[in-house]
A and B are shown apart, each in its own frame.
Chain A
Amino acid sequence: MSVTEVVIIANVGANIASLRFALERLGASSRVTADLDQIRNASHVILPGVGAAADAMRRLHEHNLHTLIPSLRQPVLGICLGMQLLFEASDEGQTECLGIIPGRADRFDASVGRPVPHMGWNTLNIERPSAFLDGLAQNDYAYFVHSYALKLSEATVASSDYGKPFSACVNWHNFYGVQFHPERSAKVGARLLQNFLRL
């Protein structure tokens, strides 16, 4: 592996300890920062995120990250809410997002036996080949926690199903996204992070 300088974008309200452990296991040290130069100069950028879309976007605006992130040319990985922020908008609080990938996150409809948030292990369905998904097989399991989701689109490389199909992994130019938590998804998650670091 070439020298990787992974930067995890700070202040997006995420609990990132497990993510840092997972990167360390792959031999990649990571820096957590909101500094524009450090992000610009990183080999790989990760945008984590938990909580509400509006809060996360407000924090990105406070640090001028809303203009920086779309301009990045190195591989960028959005995780969970971080993936949704890469799209145009979210129904969560009618939030305008970063507008990098066409699409809008909408909320799951709760029903009997299918509570929202969608929380726990679910299977992946590979929609099209991608270096991002190397080593993954149909019906591999990943760990999800989310109430909003993206429909399948041109950007979808893997989907999952929770009452309706939704995008589990996306790729749009140099931007990648995972709706689940790779850092908490055992071997499948480790493989995805490794694939990302090799991009």
Chain B
Amino acid sequence: MRLIPAIDLRAGRCVRLLHGDFESETRYPTDPETLLAKYRDLGADWLHIVDLDGARDGTLQNHTIIVRLAIQKAVKLQVGGGLRNTAAIAQMLDAGIGRAVVGSAALAQIQQVRAWLIHFGQERVALAFDVSIDDNGVPRVMTHGWQRQSEHSLWSAVDTYVDSGLKHVLCTDVGRDGALTGPNTALYGEAVHRYPHIEWQASGGIRNAHDLHALDDAGVAAAISGKALLENLIPFEELQPFLPNA
């Protein structure tokens, strides 16, 4: 399993939201370029960048900063937030972004997203599903910056794309994200069991090395962590197994 550090951008700054709530934001006194350098030096080969402004209103407010991070070519970037039309994705990929992460469009514009997977390729388009677990234990997909719940289960959403070559799926359990309560390993274990050919990226709730080992055991391909790394909660020696360039 690979550890992918996350950088969330809002108005050009590094932040973390608790449970995706735009009102409960933690700001970090680090600029994105310094943070990228820190994670590169740690040994990461990919970073996960989220444009929170874009995720909320569909614009590309942090585009300039993201392009500036990409042209350093220090690490590969996967970028999400606001990628809802072909031009936005093409612009990102042309600017040197390794992979576009498509979120709410994956439910709202299914034919379009299928076309992106085929046109840009399965390595360059990842789908991100933010889920919350309903009363029956079913992961339900949330949309629009976690402000709306959809009728889709995670499984029906993934089923929509298996024939289009879908390979990388990022799944965030909204109930765990930014809360340091431990990742939902049961959810990821089931996801890997149902779709063993998909490279699952797990996001949300990672507190310590034990959580990383548990995700690796569940069979996920990548663990995305923001807060635990920003706050240096895990000693380097415990992170090293999951960092390709460490």
Contacts and interface: CB of A to CB of B under 8 A. Distances in A.
A2 B95 CA distance: 42
Given A15-B1, A143-B213, A21 B219 contact: no
A61 interface: no
A18 B212 CA distance: 11
A183 B237 contact: no
A21 B213 contact: no
B147 to A, nearest CB: 34
Given A25-B246, A120-B210, A18 B217 contact: no
Contacts of A189: 241
A59 to B, nearest CB: 13
A145 B240 contact: no
B213 A183 contact: no
Given A18-B1, A186-B238, A24 B244 contact: yes
Contact size range, A: 10 to 19
Interface in B198-246: 210, 213-214, 216-217, 219, 221, 237-238, 240-244, 246
A17 B246 contact: no
A-side interface mostly = helix
A100 interface: no
B-side interface mostly = helix
A76 interface: no
A183 B241 contact: yes
Given A120-B210, A187-B237, A21 B221 contact: no
Contacts of B210: 120
Interface residues of B, number: 17
Contacts of B244: 17, 21, 24
A22 B243 CA distance: 9
A110 interface: no
Contacts of B243: 21
Nearest to A187: B237
B237 A186 contact: yes
Contacts of B237: 186-187
Contact of A17 (B214, B217, B221, B238): B221
A143 B212 CA distance: 12
5 contacts: A17-B221, A21-B2, A119-B213, A145-B213, A183-B241
Given A17-B2, A24-B244, A143-B213, 19 more contacts: A15-B1, A17-B244, A18-B241, A18-B242, A21-B2, A21-B241, A21-B243, A21-B246, A22-B241, A25-B246, A119-B214, A119-B217, A120-B213, A145-B213, A145-B217, A184-B241, A186-B237, A186-B238, A186-B240
